[in-house]
């Protein structure tokens, strides 16, 4: 971690932050290192960093994505940076990526599987889903237009951890994402099992399209319908439903609609009903992807 992974990641994150226009002083402050170290990182060829990470079974494309996540996290707060770094590192430990390099240094560990058992796949999947939702929340919070497509019931964003089979394996934001003045703001950090409703909606969608990993709910009206057409979003529709005694009639309606439909969809339109606000449930293959699509819809919506 300290000899190979961290120095390589620091250099790539420093390069990312510099590309965003941050000064060397600001980068050194965010990364907790000296300005001289930042200067060295920025003036050095990153090839060595990529090789070091490749030796830890982190390919270049993944290394660049990890650096991007960390750059965004440290700009939010030091603790956020630590949280994302921890999720990344424990993920690598849990999936066995670090084992060959560790065994090369210490041959006596040839039969060791402690890290894989300690940071097993379920925990790794959850950590990755939490990191994905955290990044998605930052995208929504940074958009000046997103508040225009937030429904009265507020917003949540859900992400399936691994091959999620129950709401306990779906990460969302406790207390939802609410409007604070002119921006969206998450009430609490994301965690598994935080939204029963969004989890059920996502799990139902995955029963028809297993590749879908994330979902966000948005305002739905005529302007949103026009924005969806402009972006080519395919949708299924529910509404005017009645399920006596049901605690979540929306979920029941979605379940019935999916059973009778075989068409592809990127979203589910809930036109609402008695006491139920119209909503758009938007899906994608990651929380970050669904957040980017939501922001794009918000931009089109606000320009209408």
Q: Which residue has the higher pLDDT, 287 or 76?
A: 287
User: Do residues 106 and 154 share a domain?
Assistant: no
Mean pLDDT in residue range 281-290: 97
**How do strand 235-238 and strand 267-270 relate by DSSP bridges?**
parallel
* pLDDT value for 290: 98
User: Do residues 194 and 235 share a domain?
Assistant: yes
Is 280 inside any structural domain?
yes
pLDDT tens string 193-230: 899 999 999 999 999 999 999 999 999 999 999 999 99
User: Do residues 69 and 177 share a domain?
Assistant: no
Residue 44 pLDDT more than 70?
yes
* pLDDT value for 242: 66
User: Do residues 107 and 167 share a domain?
Assistant: no
* pLDDT value for 114: 87
Q: Look up tokens 């170290």; give the residue.
A: 37
Mean pLDDT in residue range 246-251: 76
Residue 243 pLDDT level (bands cut at 50, 70, 90): low
User: Do residues 66 and 149 share a domain?
Assistant: no
Is 296 inside any structural domain?
yes
User: Do residues 145 and 280 share a domain?
Assistant: yes
The contacts of residue 294 (CB under 8 Å, 6+ apart) are: 140, 146, 149, 216, 218, 282
* pLDDT value for 69: 86
Residue 241 pLDDT level (bands cut at 50, 70, 90): low
User: Do residues 46 and 138 share a domain?
Assistant: no
Is 137 inside any structural domain?
yes
Which of 119, 142, 177 is the last residue in one of the domains? Answer: 119
Residue 116 pLDDT level (bands cut at 50, 70, 90): confident
Is 126 inside any structural domain?
no
pLDDT tens string 81-101: 887 888 888 888 888 889 888
Whole domain around residue 11: which residue ranges? 5-119
- If you average pLDDT over every residue of the chain, what do you get? 90
User: Do residues 224 and 286 share a domain?
Assistant: yes
CB of 238 within 8 A of CB of 160? Answer: no
CA dihedral 277, 171, 166, 220 (to 10 degrees): 20
Is 37 inside any structural domain?
yes
User: Do residues 212 and 294 share a domain?
Assistant: yes
> For position 278, which CATH number holds?
3.40.225.10
The contacts of residue 43 (CB under 8 Å, 6+ apart) are: none
User: Do residues 190 and 71 share a domain?
Assistant: no
Mean pLDDT in residue range 291-299: 97
* pLDDT value for 97: 87
* Domain total in the chain: 2
User: Do residues 183 and 225 share a domain?
Assistant: yes
pLDDT tens string 135-186: 999 999 999 999 999 999 999 999 999 888 888 889 999 999 999 989 999 9
Is 174 inside any structural domain?
yes
Beta bridge mates, 281: 217, 268
Is 127 inside any structural domain?
no
User: Do residues 178 and 297 share a domain?
Assistant: yes
């Amino acid at each position: 971690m300290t000899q190979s992974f961290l120095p390589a990641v620091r250099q790539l994150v420093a390069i990312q932050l510099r590309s965003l226009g941050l000064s060397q002083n600001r980068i050194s402050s965010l990364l907790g290192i000296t300005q001289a170290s930042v200067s060295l990182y920025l003036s050095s060829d990153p090839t060595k960093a990529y090789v070091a990470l490749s030796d830890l079974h982190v390919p270049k494309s993944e290394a660049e994505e990890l650096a991007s996540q960390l750059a965004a996290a440290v700009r939010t707060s030091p603790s956020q940076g630590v949280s994302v770094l921890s999720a990344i590192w424990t993920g690598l430990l849990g999936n066995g990526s670090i084992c060959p390099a560790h065994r090369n240094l210490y041959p006596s560990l040839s039969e060791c599987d402690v890290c894989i058992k300690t940071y097993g796949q379920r925990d790794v999947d959850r950590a990755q889903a939490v990191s994905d939702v955290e990044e998605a929340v930052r995208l929504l919070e940074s958009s000046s237009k997103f508040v225009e497509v937030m429904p009265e019931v507020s917003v949540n964003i859900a992400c399936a951890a691994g091959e999620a089979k129950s709401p306990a394996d779906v990460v969302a934001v406790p207390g939802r994402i609410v409007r604070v003045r002119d921006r969206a703001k998450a009430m609490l950090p994301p965690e598994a099992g935080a939204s029963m409703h969004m989890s059920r909606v996502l799990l139902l969608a995955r029963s028809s399209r297993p590749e879908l990993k994330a979902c966000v709910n948005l305002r739905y009206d005529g302007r949103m319908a026009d924005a969806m057409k402009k972006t080519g979003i395919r949708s299924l529709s529910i509404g005017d439903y009645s399920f006596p005694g049901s605690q979540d009639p929306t979920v029941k309606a979605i379940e019935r609609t999916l059973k009778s439909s075989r068409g592809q969809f990127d979203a589910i339109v809930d036109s609402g009903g008695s006491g139920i606000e119209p909503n758009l449930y938007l899906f994608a293959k990651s929380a970050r992807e669904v957040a980017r699509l939501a922001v794009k819809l918000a931009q089109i919506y606000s320009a209408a």
